[in-house]
Amino acid sequence: MTRVPSFEVDAVAFDLDGTLLDTVHDLAAAVNLLLAELGHPPLHTVTVRDLVGKGMASLVRKAMLRARGRAPDDAELAALLPRYQGHYENVLGRETEAFPGLLDMLVRLRDQGFRMAVVTNKATRFVRPHLDKAGILKFFDAIVGGDDAHAKKPDPAPIVMAAQRLGVPVSRMLMVGDSINDAQAARAAGCPVVLLPHGYNEGEPVHVLDCDGIVPSLAAVADCVRRAGSTVGAA
């Protein structure tokens, strides 16, 4: 049995897609609505799952490459992205599901006094509506979306921004994610990071990534953190 790591921190930051919420069905629906408009066959949800991770522009670029064998150039991508976002806005939350243990974990972390943030590459305009529809917006003290920092993960800027908005040193914030983007961004920011195996990670296993530990579930996240001087949380 793998030992769950333990961390003494003041805050916890979470990726969104593939970490807190299983959003791939909505993402795939929007991709396929766009492809249908363009006369291309749909992609299977499993295929779209492996394309998720670096933001909507990356998803549209990869989806077009898969569907027609050629990626869009910058000008075409700029024209396609608003169309995709319009479709996504219409389907947002329809088939999204919380990963098991989400609400219990958030309640436990809040009750223990941790400040919490969401740090995602998803376009900022969609983040709050997603969290609100899932009933978890109230738990977060800061949100950093894909348009807020000068670069997206794996650049460290979004994680540094989240720590600043929470008012904690980045070294005292645990990053929880599901992909190489989360791991590399946290490493570059000087932030401890754990990964969940239930996410997307562009189709690759997370166990081979450079991180501070793999936690088996969201419930285990609450077990691996504690505040300074507290006996609650990590053992």
The catalytic site residues sit at: 15
Q: Could you say which DSSP state residue 41 is in? A: P
CB 45 within 8 A of CB 23: no
Distance CA 191, CA 202 (A): 22
Distance CA 191, CA 184 (A): 10
Distance CA 93, CA 132 (A): 10
Place of tokens 């979004």: 158
Looking at residue 168, its amino acid is V
Distant-in-sequence, close-in-space partners of 199: CB < 8 Å, separation ≥ 6: 15, 17, 18, 19, 177, 178, 179, 206
Give bridge partners of residue 85 from the DSSP assignment: none
